Amino acid sequence: MLTDRRKFLHTSAVSGALLGLMQPGRVFAQDADAALQALLQRHTEALLRRSPEEATSAEFDNGANAYLRSRLDDRSLEARESDHAAVKQALAELRAIPETGLSARSALDRDVALYVYETLDRLLGYYGYADLNLRPSPYVVSQMNGAYYWLPDFIGSRHPITSASDAEAWFYRLDALAAVLDQETARILHDASLGVIPPDFVIAKTIAQIKGLRDGAPLESALLAPALRRLAALGREGDAARAVALFEQRVVPALSRQIEALETILPQAVDIAGVWRLPDGDAYYASAVRANTTTDIDPGDLHQLGLDQCASLIAQINTLLKAQGMSRGSVGERIAKLNNDARFKVSDDDAGRERLLELARGYIADITRRLPQAYGISTVDPISVRRIPPAIEAGAPGAFYSEGAAGEPGIYSLNLQHPGEHALWRLPTLTHHEAVPGHHFQYSVLSHAPSLPLFRRVVRFSAYTEGYALYAQQVAAELGVFEGQPFNRIGELQSQLFRAARIVVDTGLHYKRWTKEQAIAWMVDNAGEQPLATEREVTRYSVYPGQACSFKVGATRIVAAREEARERMGERFDIRQFHDLILTSGPMPMAVLEKAVAQWAKA
């Protein structure tokens, strides 16, 4: 899972093969291209001035825009309405530039922009939260969303601190955290007045996590500790005391007010996870599925797709389990037995945590050596493997990736609250997904490719980023990392099964109106997932409807595009060129990706 982290920024370009298309008439296309690129540049700069956090991630907060480095995003309801108006205006301006006459590269840029604007226009017409990930949540604050959740890492680790002015900007942002918390608190109460209240189990987890940030030792928190280490490198004095004072006098009261708001609405909350119970809930879910998968698939058809893929994967896993002498019970029961097999467990202590981290580093080193067999561009930037901050582990996924601050390594974070949950036969594939050749490698390739336009460097799509990372697991298997490791191969297939089961469970909760208990039981019984981790997963699906479907839908479409290109090109097909095209073209909706691959295969 790539965090938002995870602001997955890209400095890449469409491959030379794609750029070389449609050369006849190029002179006439130049004016249309220039008009489109100027428009998108203006739109993106306006967006970054409205979103100082994105501006920092895009390294736009310098020169005339240096003032943005001391600010945080405006999270007020008024700002959301202003953003929606800006999207509508941008959409009208984009539609005024026809696709006819554009070069292949600019036509791709227009397709991406049109999808983004139309999707944001739709999502911002609802309640809750939506951003450039096009990953909506009906709840402004939850166990996986909100300023308290995202900003400690952003302020603590990703805010640049290389000068005295950076340091002062950091203190302004720390102070501003109180204001944005209050903006979200106001929206919690506003949305509750519309009947939009998180499930009671979500509110309980969220309150516990906010209390963890509020009541934890400030100097050990993700919000202060990493930044103070960098501040100390500047030779300044008194910063720690100043930061603690700001935290205690400004941030702590704001966190307490947010807790109070959540406690106020808790008596009205129910234990229903599905968004169908919310205003226009069925329409909201269909919109969320479309945004996350970047496809027009109907939720009912998506549910059936998940069931079909689960059946196929269960059959493959069954064959491999039987070959290892495990033939009794359902596949889910046999996977559950593997989860508890002492051969694949680490100790539930710091020694176990360290062993998991070291094993993950070894898997990264092994797959990195194999990359040139499947990728023309195979440079891997430095990566750090670490534990997810304990303050947010209870609501966090099993692992995620986030790019570091400018000049810093990328970060592969493991949830080590209960290290025994990470069965060793699963760990290689988890690492391939989050690190190499998955999310971290995505980022590495893009960072070494020629630049995309600024607009293309700030937009993101779950179906592309998560779909590629899931597909990357398959690539790792194709590169032979599981030869002589049958249980690790089962782990890769079970990871695919887990993502297919996510489709079933997500659509089950929000479309079929399953209870939370039904969803947990289905995943445990059919995918062999562990109950504690599954409860955390299902709670996640309840606040990010449709997002869990993006992984398998995206991976399936990438594989289909690959095999169609292979069939069309025959001996001309080169897997390294295909992968370079997919990675250097940057994030895009699945239909745009398929169009780009088809053009490449035809050229």
Tell me the pLDDT tens digit for each residue of 178-214: 999 999 999 999 999 999 999 999 999 999 999 999 9
- Mean pLDDT for the chain overall: 92
pLDDT at 397: 78
Residue 197 burial (10 A CB sphere; 0-12, 13-18, 19+)? buried
Give me the residue spans of the domains in the chain: 26-279, 286-602
> Taking the CB of residue 207, how many other CB atoms lie within 10 A of it?
17
- Rounded Cα–Cα distance for residues 27 and 258 (Å): 57
Q: What percent of the chain has pLDDT over 70?
A: 95
pLDDT at 253: 98
Query: Is there a cis peptide before residue 437, judged by omega within 30 degrees of 0?
Result: yes
137, β-bridge pairs: 129
Q: Judge whether residue 370 has pLDDT over 80.
A: yes
| DSSP run (H or E) holding 226 | helix 225-232
List, for residues 262-276, the tens digit of each pLDDT value.
Answer: 999 999 999 999 999
Report the Cα–Cα distance between both ends of the chain, in Å, rounded.
Answer: 34
402 Cβ contact partners less than 8 Å away, ≥ 6 residues apart:
2, 3, 5, 6, 153, 410, 411, 413
List, for residues 381-416, the tens digit of each pLDDT value.
Answer: 999 999 998 877 877 778 989 887 667 899 999 999
- Two tokens, residue 343: 């051969």
pLDDT at 18: 29
Decide the pairing of beta strands 383-387 and 410-414.
parallel
2, β-bridge pairs: 401
Q: Judge whether residue 24 has pLDDT over 60.
A: no
List, for residues 315-363, the tens digit of each pLDDT value.
Answer: 999 999 999 999 999 999 999 899 889 999 999 999 999 999 999 999 9
CB 549 within 8 A of CB 541: no
Name the 3-class secondary structure at 571.
Answer: helix
List, for residues 234-251, the tens digit of each pLDDT value.
Answer: 999 999 999 999 999 999
Q: Judge whether residue 16 has pLDDT over 60.
A: no
- The residue type of 247 is F
Name the 3-class secondary structure at 442.
Answer: helix
CB 333 within 8 A of CB 414: no
Across 126-130, 265-269, 592-596, the highest mean pLDDT is recorded for 265-269
CB 502 within 8 A of CB 541: yes
List, for residues 274-297, the tens digit of each pLDDT value.
Answer: 999 999 999 999 999 999 999 999
Q: Judge whether residue 10 has pLDDT over 60.
A: no
Q: Judge whether residue 229 has pLDDT over 60.
A: yes
Query: How far are the Cα atoms of 82, 302, 330, 422, 424 from residue 342, in angstroms, in the given order?
Result: 56, 37, 20, 12, 10
Query: How far are the Cα atoms of 157, 222, 250, 259, 379 from residue 175, in angstroms, in the given order?
Result: 16, 16, 7, 19, 39
pLDDT at 3: 55
- Rounded Cα–Cα distance for residues 161 and 168 (Å): 9
Could you tell me which of 150, 265, 154, 123 has the C-alpha nearest to residue 204? 265
399, β-bridge pairs: 414
Q: Scanning the structure block, which residue is given the tokens 């039904």?
A: 518
Stated length of the chain:
603
pLDDT at 83: 96
**Max Cα-Cα span within the chain:** 68
